[in-house]
């Protein structure tokens, strides 16, 4: 599909349709677009709701709508060709085959995407959890950071989404939500550290944004 | 354009309303100007910047109020319904409700258009009982049907209380515009709503000002440490006098207007400290951040929420029943 058609579709979907709906009816407060750096980045976020990905795509600067890709589980979002096509057109997803599937190398796939210049949205909790509770993180982001030391890791904490539209419920109930965008995480020594330590650093950065002390 | 041609397409812009509105805008202009001068003379400072942020917000509030309320009854009803929607959302977002309460909340949101419809078509019986009786029973039913009893007592109380405080109370503002027109009442129904909002806002301002200048005796130290007896009494006297001065906006005589203003000074204070107490309980300073310099919607309309009910029922009792 031509690039400008894709951009037009996404500007319409996110800026003209979803963003006013999410901010006026649901009550999501969007962060300033200037908080997102212009360089290649990975947005590392907590995950409580289907609203998460959509509201992040509404937050990023318009010109980034083509090169920021949420990573989605292939077994859930690419069940059939139509669904996969719609996800790619509207959500700009890259698909990840989760562990346990034949021939799955999720980290290598994501690494390839980063090497080709794409920015990613990752949810290291792996799946949607209970509202305002940060589950343990998978090590994927840390491994990606070790392999690509120059990439910016941007911690993001979203509050309220899991109450506006929790897992297992298709109805949206208005609830004020906040999106906290943190400073890019810089750790030049990441490659020398154990993976779990880097993961913990990233998790701490998100926990700090949530304002909660470590549990 | 003369006054007559403006009032012909604006339903509630009678000459008394326009005059008072002009004075309000003029006063705010003078205040803004004096802050600007103060800033130019003394330079930027934390206090002056905060005062200016607040004043700019007052401009938005005042202009939004004038534009939405006085031109068409339908527009006014929709605008007040939207205000109560945002207030309800803000309040329930702060209350840390359970996931099981989402259905009850959804029914409250669906109740907003119905409640304001009853106000718009002046269906008084339904307007009065819909939230206090029908929703009261219905919300308990929805809560029980969720099957999750852990914390259900709190939820039953808090959700209905929120609906009363935001949806039911503010719908009285909309109903004021639907009251039948009275003969020999020049200001019209727009006058009542203007009087109420003005008296409520000025009462807040004067209680604050008297408290700052004369305040010695704390009135409720555990709830709101800034509230003083002197501020409360000073506000009461000033507001009563202002209510008396502006009685021409109401369909009642000057004495009754003064009594009503005194009453509203008291209930406005009650609304204010009620929300203060809730904020203290929740451990937050402001209910939200939607109005720069003021906090959230609930921080601004706390006193209006109580006053709209009191004012509506007293004015209706005095002028529309007898």
- Give the tens place of pLDDT for each residue, A34-90: 999 999 999 999 999 999 999 999 999 999 999 999 998 888 888 888 999 999 889
pLDDT at A214: 54
* DSSP β-bridge partners for residue A96: A73
Q: Are B70 and B13 in contact (CB under 8 A)?
A: yes
Length of chain B counted residue by residue:
322
Q: Residue B322: pLDDT band by 50, 70, 90 thresholds?
A: low
Tell whether B110 is within 8 A of chain A (Cβ): no
C-alpha B266/C-alpha B184 separation (Å) is 30
- Per-residue pLDDT of A140-170, as tens digits, reads 899 999 999 889 999 999 999 999 999 988 8
Q: Are A188 and A113 in contact (CB under 8 A)?
A: no
pLDDT at A191: 84
| Edge-to-edge order in the sheet of strand A119-122 | A28-29, A177-181, A152-159, A41-45, A119-122, A68-73, A94-96
Classify burial at B159, counting beta carbons within 10 Å of its beta carbon; exposed 0-12, middle 13-18, buried 19 or more. buried
Q: Are B269 and B303 in contact (CB under 8 A)?
A: yes
Task: Report whether pLDDT(A124) > 70.
Answer: yes
Token digits of residue B233: 């009494």
Q: What is the dihedral of CA A100, A102, A106, A110, to 10 degrees?
A: -160
Query: Mean of the per-residue pLDDT values for chain A?
Result: 89
Task: Report whether pLDDT(B294) > 60.
Answer: yes
Residues of B in Cβ contact (< 8 Å) with A29: 289
Phi-psi region of A93 (alpha: psi -120 to 50; beta: other; left: phi over 0): beta
Task: Report whether pLDDT(B177) > 90.
Answer: yes
Query: Mean of the per-residue pLDDT values for chain B?
Result: 93
pLDDT at A98: 74
C-alpha A123/C-alpha A203 separation (Å) is 11
Stronger pLDDT, B241 or A2, i.e. the higher one = B241
pLDDT at B292: 85
- B105–A166 C-beta distance less than 8 A: no
C-alpha B76/C-alpha B69 separation (Å) is 4
Q: Residue B289: pLDDT band by 50, 70, 90 thresholds?
A: confident
- SS3 of residue B103 by DSSP: helix
The closest alpha carbon to A75, from A117, A114, A119, A126, belongs to A126
CB nearest to A160's CB, from B85, B93, B99 = B93
Q: Residue A96: pLDDT band by 50, 70, 90 thresholds?
A: confident
Q: Are B302 and B274 in contact (CB under 8 A)?
A: yes
Handedness of CA B80, B86, B90, B93 (dihedral sign): positive
A13-17, A94-98, A192-196, B141-145: least confidently modelled range:
A94-98
CB nearest to A173's CB, from B85, B106, B288 = B106
pLDDT at A23: 95
CB nearest to A176's CB, from B89, B97, B102 = B89
Taking only residues 240 to 299 of chain B, the set having a beta carbon closer than 8 angstroms to any beta carbon of chain A reads 288-289
Smallest CA–CA distance, residue A174 to chain B, in Å, is 7
Q: To 5 degrees, how large is the angle CA B73–CA B78–CA B79?
A: 95
Place of tokens 């993001």: A156
The closest alpha carbon to A88, from A99, A106, A104, A72, belongs to A72
Token digits of residue A133: 């509770």
Smallest CA–CA distance, residue B46 to chain A, in Å, is 24
Sorted by sequence, the CB contacts under 8 Å of residue B153 that are 6+ apart come out as none
pLDDT at B173: 97
- Per-residue pLDDT of B15-65, as tens digits, reads 999 999 999 999 999 999 999 999 999 888 888 888 899 999 999 999 999
Helix or strand (DSSP H, E) at B304 = helix B297-315
Token digits of residue B243: 């209510």
pTM over 0.90: yes
Nearest residue in chain B measured CA to CA from A164: B102
Mean pLDDT within B72-86: 96
Q: Residue A103: pLDDT band by 50, 70, 90 thresholds?
A: low
Task: Give me the percent of chain B exceeding a pLDDT of 90.
Answer: 82
> What is the end-to-end Cα distance of chain B in Å, rounded?
39
- B99–A166 C-beta distance less than 8 A: yes
- B288–A175 C-beta distance less than 8 A: no
Place of tokens 């002197």: B230
The closest alpha carbon to A159, from A49, A41, A44, A2, belongs to A49
Residues of A in Cβ contact (< 8 Å) with B106: 171, 173
Concatenated DSSP letters of B207-246: HHHHHHHH--SBS-TTT-TT-BHHHHHHHHHHHHHHHHHT
Q: Are B250 and B191 in contact (CB under 8 A)?
A: yes
pLDDT at A1: 67
A55-64, A104-113, A167-176, B183-192: least confidently modelled range:
A104-113
Concatenated DSSP letters of B125-182: HHHHHIIIIIIHHHHHHHHHHT---TTHHHHHHHHHHHHIIIIIHHHHHHHHHHSPPP
Token digits of residue B132: 């206090």
- A169–B93 C-beta distance less than 8 A: no
CB nearest to B106's CB, from A166, A171, A176 = A171
Phi-psi region of A178 (alpha: psi -120 to 50; beta: other; left: phi over 0): beta
The closest alpha carbon to A154, from A166, A143, A167, A145, belongs to A145
Mean pLDDT within B161-175: 97
C-alpha A111/C-alpha A121 separation (Å) is 13
- Per-residue pLDDT of B4-21, as tens digits, reads 555 567 889 999 999 999
- SS3 of residue A120 by DSSP: strand
A93-97, A206-210, B252-256: least confidently modelled range:
A93-97
Q: Are B277 and B285 in contact (CB under 8 A)?
A: no
CB nearest to B89's CB, from A27, A131, A169 = A27
Residues of B in Cβ contact (< 8 Å) with A131: 99
pLDDT at B3: 56
pLDDT at A75: 81
Q: What ipTM was predicted for this assembly?
A: 0.91
């Amino acid at each position: 599909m031509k690039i400008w058609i894709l951009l037009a579709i996404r500007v319409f979907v996110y800026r003209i349709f979803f963003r006013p709906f999410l901010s006026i009816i649901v009550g999501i407060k969007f962060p300033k677009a200037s908080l997102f750096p212009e360089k290649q980045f990975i947005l590392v976020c907590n995950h409580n709701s289907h609203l998460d990905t959509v509201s992040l795509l509404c937050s990023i600067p318009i010109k980034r709508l083509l090169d920021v890709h949420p990573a989605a589980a292939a077994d859930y979002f690419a069940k059939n060709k139509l669904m996969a096509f719609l996800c790619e057109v509207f959500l700009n997803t890259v698909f990840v085959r989760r562990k346990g599937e034949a021939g799955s190398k999720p980290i290598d796939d994501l690494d390839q995407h980063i090497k080709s210049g794409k920015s990613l949205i990752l949810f290291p909790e792996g799946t949607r959890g209970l509202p305002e509770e940060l589950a343990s993180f998978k090590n994927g982001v840390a491994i990606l950071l070790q392999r690509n030391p120059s990439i910016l890791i941007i911690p993001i904490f979203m509050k309220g989404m899991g109450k506006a539209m929790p897992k297992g419920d298709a109805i949206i109930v208005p609830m004020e939500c906040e999106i906290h965008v943190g400073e890019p995480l810089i750790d030049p020594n990441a490659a020398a550290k154990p993976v779990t330590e880097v993961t913990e650093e990233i998790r701490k950065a998100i926990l700090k944004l949530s304002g909660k002390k470590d549990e | 354009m003369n006054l007559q041609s403006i009032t012909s397409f604006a339903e509630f812009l009678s000459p008394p309303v326009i005059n008072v509105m002009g004075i309000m805008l003029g006063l705010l202009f003078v205040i803004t100007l004096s802050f600007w001068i103060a800033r130019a003379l003394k330079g930027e400072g934390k206090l002056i910047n905060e005062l200016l942020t607040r004043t700019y917000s007052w401009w938005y509030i005042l202009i939004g109020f004038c534009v939405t309320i006085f031109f068409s009854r339908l527009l006014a009803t929709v605008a007040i319904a939207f205000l109560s929607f945002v207030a309800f959302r803000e309040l329930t977002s702060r209350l840390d409700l359970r996931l099981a309460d989402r259905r009850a909340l959804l029914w409250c949101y669906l109740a907003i258009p119905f409640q304001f419809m009853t106000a718009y078509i002046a269906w008084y019986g339904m307007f009065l009982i819909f939230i206090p009786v029908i929703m009261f029973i219905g919300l308990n039913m929805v809560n029980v049907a969720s099957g999750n009893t852990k914390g259900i007592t709190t939820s039953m109380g808090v959700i209905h209380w929120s609906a009363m405080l935001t949806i039911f109370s503010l719908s009285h503002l909309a109903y004021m515009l639907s009251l039948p027109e009275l003969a020999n009442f020049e200001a019209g129904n727009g006058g009542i709503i203007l009087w109420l909002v003005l008296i409520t806002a000025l009462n807040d301002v004067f209680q604050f000002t008297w408290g700052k200048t004369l305040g010695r005796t704390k009135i409720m130290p555990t709830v709101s440490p800034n509230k003083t007896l002197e501020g409360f009494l000073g506000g009461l006297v000033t507001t009563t006098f202002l209510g008396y001065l502006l009685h021409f906006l109401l369909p009642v005589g000057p004495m009754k207007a003064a009594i009503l203003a005194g009453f509203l000074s008291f209930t406005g204070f009650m609304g204010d400290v009620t929300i203060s107490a809730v904020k203290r309980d929740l451990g937050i300073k402001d209910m939200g951040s939607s109005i720069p310099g003021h906090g959230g919607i609930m921080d601004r309309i706390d006193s209006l929420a109580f006053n709209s009910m009191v004012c509506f029922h007293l004015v209706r009792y005095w002028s529309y029943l007898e």
